[in-house]
Amino acid sequence: MQESVIYQDIWEEALERGLQQGLQQGLQQGLQEGLQEGLQQGLQEGLQQGLQQGATEGEKSLILRLLNRRLGSLPETVIGQINQLPLPALEELGEALLDFSEIDDLLEWLQSHQPE
């Protein structure tokens, strides 16, 4: 009977240690996998956002150069308005500027395409 009590104590202690080790390993593995997945997702989102921002900045730069060439030097307020336009509006402006012959054409276009 004594042996069975000692055996049971040893078994319970081993079981408890095993559970603690399993829990600790599970937590470490889960944390590591979570960090890897989070890092990968963060990098992917950052890359996507950087590409979008780069496309927008490139579009703005090209449009401003084309407008300067077509209409002459632009007032800072007009440049500020163009810098506030989202990418789809910039793309529209890129096509519309081909029909502009004076700054008033640009001002009229900007007035009708104010970001909300």
Domain range annotation of the chain: 2-112
Which residues, in sequence order, are CB contacts of 75 under 8 Å at separation 6+?
A: none
Lowest mean pLDDT among 23-27, 71-75, 79-83, 91-95: 23-27
Residue type present at position 1: M
Q: Global pTM?
A: 0.62
pLDDT (0 to 100) of residue 90: 93
Query: What gap in Å lies between CA 90 and CA 95, rounded to an integer?
Result: 9
pLDDT (0 to 100) of residue 101: 95
